[in-house]
Amino acid sequence: MAHVLRAITEEQKRQFDTEGYLVIKGLFSADNLTEIEQTFETMSHERIPGYFEPDLKGDSADPLQRYPRVMHPHRFNETAKRFMLHPPVLEVLADLYGEEAYAAQSMFYYKPPGSRGQALHQDNFYLKVEPGNCIAAWTAVDPAHEENGGLLIVPKTHAHEISCPDEADTKESFTTHYVKPPKDGVVMPVIMDKGDVLFFNGNLIHGSYRNKSKDQFRRAFICHYANSSAATINVHYNPLFKADGTEIRLADNPDGGPCGIEMGEFTYH
């Protein structure tokens, strides 16, 4: 039986299938965003070993030492878990997948002024969701644009295989992996308002600019999902969660990937 679209239009589904990404406006309300902002503002003054380890003294010249990203906040914070399972997001994902989505990961990026960007990469290099793919839901907590380090994507590269990355320029990227776009690929900025969500395929090449602004953070709440028919995932992403919060475990994907070695989780992302 064919999946009936409930949250998006046929045109939006076609764009995702053709281009590898889709922006949905206003999936998070003003009240949702306020709760997310307050939760992570409070968290920014704490140390949570293994998940968020800022230099609270602010001694470093690197703003990302004071405001690193928060890894897997859903594992210790109920607000993060609730918004990882935000029903409007899961409804869009169900339409994109044609089946139920399971939540695999959450992250929060503060990206303060002066922060390095993130070199172009592919998400399913790390998550290794098979069969099927991961999909990212990238929520703009602040407006995201070219000056403050908004996201860059290379449309249509979702149709490309996962590549073994090259070395990134760590003067511009806080991560070490770089996936070179194809010769005919166009690196395109995605301009977003607060509360907009960018959904993109796990093979899509994407990254971000340096935050060149003087006074604008570019905060983002980012979650990754797997299709419910997937059998395996990188072991670091277990357990996954169904919409009602039930834990699901997929088998560990033993494939070393295109580099021939196990890369761990989003350590490099």
Task: Write the pLDDT tens digit of every residue in 39-86.
Answer: 999 999 999 999 999 999 988 999 999 999 999 999 999 999 999 999
Dmax (CA) for the chain in angstroms is 59
Query: 10-52+67-268 has which fold?
Result: Jelly Rolls (2.60.120)
For the chain, the domains span 10-52+67-268
Give 41's contacts (C-beta < 8 A, 6+ positions apart): none
- Please tell me the distance from the alpha carbon of residue 175 to that of residue 265, in angstroms, as a whole number: 13
Q: Cβ–Cβ contacts within 10 Å for residue 120, how many? A: 24
Evaluate if residue 267 carries a pLDDT over 50. Answer: no
130 φ, ψ to 5°?
-150, 145
251-252 vs 232-233, strand pairing mode: parallel
- Dihedrals φ, ψ of 224, to 5°? -120, 145
Tokens 């395109």, located at residue: 188
pLDDT, tens digit, 9 for 90 and up, residues 152-177: 999 999 999 999 999 999 999 999 99
Q: Is the pTM of this model over 0.85?
A: yes
